[in-house]
Amino acid sequence: MERLQKVLAQAGIASRRKCEEYITSGRVMVNDVLVTELGTKVDPTVDVILVDGRPIRSQSKIYLMLNKPKGVITSAKDPEGRKVVTDFLPGVKERVYPVGRLDYDTEGLLILTNDGEFANLLTHPKHHIPRTYHATVKGNIHGNVLDKLKAGVKLEDGMTAPAEVDYHDINPDKNETVVTITIFEGRNRQVRRMFEAVNHPVIRLKRVMFGSLGLTGLPRGKYRKLLPAEVKALREEALAAAAEPKSSQNVQK
């Protein structure tokens, strides 16, 4: 017997958190009975489970990496008809979902999967998987500003955790600086807000690494399947981060 939300996530319905929302909002039935209580145990080999009136189907797990272009919604669909990340997955028949988000104006590495447990593992706040970006910002940044970002800056939702920050490129003619920044949190628009807090607004933002997974060699707008070794490495990174003592998390690595 397994928890209902776990079975739904494993079937590729959505992430485990989203599946919990489906249950509590009355969208799931088990053996013709509406189930709204989280933690309900089911046997997927015997029980008939419906989501929005449709039976769930087990499907093979798939793990993809997309080089998301700017101006694309990180979602499987958009009611306003704008381009979404799944528009860039020709030939993928499985229903996949983004792992975390990239802003509309942010490009770069995005993982998609139909493995809800894997998605939850990578995005859970306690796991602190590093995410690395190239941020092109206004102005020529001085070393003391980088030091502030490294130590953490105050945002409206509290201090950020220490980050790894370094120069990537400097263009004095354009009055721009490209900075490599690695964060260990997943707050909304965090990188952009960090640079706004030090008076260097972001002009362009690209995620180039998610944990040990790098974007190198993948053209903009293209995707590829993750290798089994890459999936394994990401799992191990998340589990290792979760096992760290609380006092050692949120510190610069």
CATH code of the domain in which 150 resides: 3.30.70.1560
Cα 225 to Cα 66: distance, rounded to the nearest angstrom: 9
β-strand partners of 51: 28, 54
Is the confidence at residue 191, as pLDDT, over 60? yes
84 by DSSP, 3-state: which?
A: strand
Residues 182 and 221 in one domain: no
In a domain, 99, yes or no: yes
Cα 146 to Cα 163: distance, rounded to the nearest angstrom: 10
Provide the CA 128 distance to its chain's centre, in angstroms.
Answer: 11
In a domain, 252, yes or no: no
Helix-, strand-, coil-residue percentages of the chain, each rounded to 5 = 25, 30, 45
Cα 204 to Cα 71: distance, rounded to the nearest angstrom: 12
pLDDT in tens, 126-169: 778 899 999 999 999 988 999 999 999 999 999 999 999 999 88
Residues 120 and 222 in one domain: yes
Residues 196 and 218 in one domain: no
Please give the model's pTM, rounded to 2 decimal places.
Answer: 0.77
The DSSP secondary-structure symbol of 56 reads -
Provide the CA 33 distance to its chain's centre, in angstroms.
Answer: 34
Residues 182 and 81 in one domain: no
> Phi then psi for 150, rounded to 5 degrees?
-65, -40
Q: Give the range of the structural domain holding residue 175, as residue numbers without chain letter.
A: 130-210
> Phi then psi for 48, rounded to 5 degrees?
-95, 115
The DSSP secondary-structure symbol of 41 reads E
In a domain, 33, yes or no: yes
In a domain, 109, yes or no: yes
Residues 45 and 11 in one domain: yes
pLDDT in tens, 77-120: 888 889 999 999 999 988 888 998 899 999 999 999 988 889 88
Q: Which residues are known catalytic residues?
A: 103
